């Protein structure tokens, strides 16, 4: 009888050890799968950053209307002979941008602006291929879990929406009496791209153990959300600035053409049109939000100085460094905005730092949560 009990205990120990080993292996396999999917998503996020930068160059070189059609397959290759180049050039010559802005362009000038728009579209195609190929690879290998299905669907919907917005933006500039794409359409395209970037990062963070080290603080959570709202407004007005070409209209600092409040700040009627359609009003608001962001981030830095968490502290310091660089870069960009050559590279760098700010703030929003509500049961 004692012998049977000993064998039973021995079998139970073996069974328990086997179950623990199985669970450990399953956990390691899940972590390995999650890591692989997270790396794929981070590669996609990096490609989105590059895509936005190429878009910035396309905008600043006035290349966006050089390709007047959207051909998803045949448009992958650029013109391959002189006749094909002449056909594309003739299409561009029918636009009002050519008639009134670039009427002096030769075929070589056209090839330069065509390259940036073509490269922008080509990179978008490559981005789509990377996401689709990765999706199919992980699907076949069964490395997705049920929790990834809905985020994956949303990710592809956001990507498709971004492509559609891009073409609508181009079409907004291919109508009579329009020399450039609409500034509202341009801004919508930019914000949609940044939302896609933020969502991709958030999805990747869900699969990264290092990002599980949350900070629970209600007041800090509220401040970070407020910073997010301010940054969103600033990005919207940055898009308006670019689309309205507002920087060259006031290439001075700290004043705006000799005044701190532009004389024409309220020249459009009704008054609310000035908030989005008056270049100098947009310029004034963009500068104001920049100063407000700096003050708000300094306040955030002060009130969060005693909050522990290695990852949180890293992003907290990075946020302050980025906003200082961005403010200085913004001033330099405005002062040099009448120099087309400098404006391209300063503008793109300014846009790149803005994207890093988005990445940093998305990371802080992911890390900082409200304290869990404790339910106290009252005994009777």
Kindly report the pTM of this predicted structure: 0.87
Q: Judge whether residue 37 has pLDDT over 60.
A: yes
81 and 172 both lie in a single domain = yes
List, as own/partner pairs, every contact residues 257-262 make where C-beta atoms lie below 8 angstroms and the sequence separation is at least 24, other chains included: none
What value does the mean pLDDT take over residues 245-261? 92
DSSP for 243-276, please give it. Answer: HHT-GGG---SSSBTTBSS-TTTT-SSSGGGHHH
SS3 content of the chain, % helix, strand, coil (to 5): 75, 0, 25
What's the rounded Cα separation, in Å, for the pair 290 and 236? 12
286 and 177 both lie in a single domain = no
Does residue 352 lie in a domain region?
yes
CB 113 within 8 A of CB 61: yes
198 burial level (CB within 10 Å; 0-12, 13-18, 19+): buried
Residue 223 banded pLDDT, cuts 50, 70, 90: very high
Does residue 123 lie in a domain region?
yes
pLDDT tens column, 348-377: 999 999 999 999 999 999 999 988 765 444
Among 153, 179, 209, residue at a domain's last position:
209
Among 147, 176, 209, residue at a domain's last position:
209
Paired residues of 369 in beta bridges: 216
What's the rounded Cα separation, in Å, for the pair 270 and 345? 36
259 and 179 both lie in a single domain = no
163 and 268 both lie in a single domain = no
Q: What is the pLDDT of the chain when averaged over all its residues?
A: 86
Residue 67 banded pLDDT, cuts 50, 70, 90: confident
Does residue 54 lie in a domain region?
yes
Residue 245 Ramachandran class (φ > 0 left, ψ -120 to 50 alpha, else beta): left
What value does the mean pLDDT take over residues 97-121? 90
- Domain enclosing residue 111, as ranges: 32-209
Paired residues of 216 in beta bridges: 369
How many domains would you assign to the chain? 2
Does residue 43 lie in a domain region?
yes
Does residue 6 lie in a domain region?
no
Torsion sign across C-alpha atoms 15, 21, 22, 27: positive
Residues ≥6 apart with Cβ < 8 Å to 277? 244, 268
182 and 256 both lie in a single domain = no
291 and 351 both lie in a single domain = yes
Give the model's pLDDT for residue 9.
59
Q: Closest Cα partner for 167 from 188, 191, 197?
A: 188
What's the rounded Cα separation, in Å, for the pair 194 and 181? 19
Please report how the helices 310-335 and 279-303 are oriented relative to each other, as an axis angle in degrees rounded to 10: 150
Does residue 359 lie in a domain region?
yes
Give the model's pLDDT for residue 71.
79
Percent of the chain scoring above 90 in pLDDT: 56
195 and 56 both lie in a single domain = yes
364 and 234 both lie in a single domain = yes
pLDDT tens column, 174-221: 777 777 888 888 999 999 999 999 999 998 998 888 888 888 999 999
Does residue 12 lie in a domain region?
no
Among 209, 237, 269, residue at a domain's last position:
209
293 and 359 both lie in a single domain = yes
What's the rounded Cα separation, in Å, for the pair 116 and 112? 7
Does residue 19 lie in a domain region?
no
380: helix, strand or coil: coil
pLDDT tens column, 120-143: 999 999 999 998 898 888 888 877
170 and 233 both lie in a single domain = no
142 and 54 both lie in a single domain = yes
- Across 51-60, 87-96, 151-160, 356-365, least confident range: 151-160
205 and 67 both lie in a single domain = yes
Task: Provide the 10 A C-beta neighbour count for residue 352.
Answer: 17
């Amino acid at each position: 009888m004692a012998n049977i009990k000993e064998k039973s205990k021995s079998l139970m120990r073996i069974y328990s050890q086997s179950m623990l080993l199985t669970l450990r292996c399953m956990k390691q396999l899940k972590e390995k799968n999650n890591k692989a999917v997270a790396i794929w998503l981070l590669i996609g996020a990096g490609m989105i950053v590059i895509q936005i930068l190429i878009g910035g160059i396309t905008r600043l070189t006035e290349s966006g209307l050089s390709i007047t059609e959207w051909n998803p397959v045949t448009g992958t290759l650029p013109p391959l002979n002189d006749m094909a180049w002449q056909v594309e050039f003739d299409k561009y010559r029918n636009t009002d941008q050519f008639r009134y802005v670039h009427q002096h362009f030769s075929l070589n000038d056209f090839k330069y602006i065509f390259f940036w728009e073509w490269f922008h579209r080509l990179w978008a195609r490559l981005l789509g291929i990377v996401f689709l190929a990765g999706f199919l690879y992980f699907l076949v290998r069964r490395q997705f879990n049920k929790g990834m299905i809905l985020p994956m669907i949303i990710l592809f919907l956001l990507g498709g929406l971004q492509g559609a917005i891009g073409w609508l933006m181009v079409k907004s500039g291919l109508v009579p009496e329009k020399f450039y794409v609409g500034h509202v359409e341009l801004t919508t395209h930019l914000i949609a791209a940044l939302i896609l970037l933020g969502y991709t990062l958030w999805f990747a963070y869900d699969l990264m153990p290092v990002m599980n080290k949350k900070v629970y603080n209600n007041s800090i959570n509220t401040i970070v959300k407020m910073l997010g709202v301010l940054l969103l407004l600033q990005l919207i007005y940055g898009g308006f600035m670019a689309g309205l070409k507002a920087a060259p209209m006031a290439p001075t600092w700290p004043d705006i053409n000799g005044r701190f409040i532009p004389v024409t700040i309220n020249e459009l009627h009704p008054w609310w049109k000035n908030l989005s359609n008056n270049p100098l009003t947009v310029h004034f608001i963009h500068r104001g939000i920049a100063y407000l962001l700096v003050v708000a981030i300094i306040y955030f830095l002060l009130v969060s100085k005693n909050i522990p968490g290695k990852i949180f502290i890293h992003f907290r310091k990075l946020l302050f460094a980025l906003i200082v660089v961005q403010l200085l870069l913004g001033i330099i960009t405005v002062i040099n905005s009448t120099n087309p050559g400098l404006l391209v590279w300063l503008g793109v760098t300014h846009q790149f730092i803005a994207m890093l700010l988005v990445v940093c703030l998305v990371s802080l929003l992911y890390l900082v949560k409200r304290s869990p509500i404790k339910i106290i049961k009252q005994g009777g």
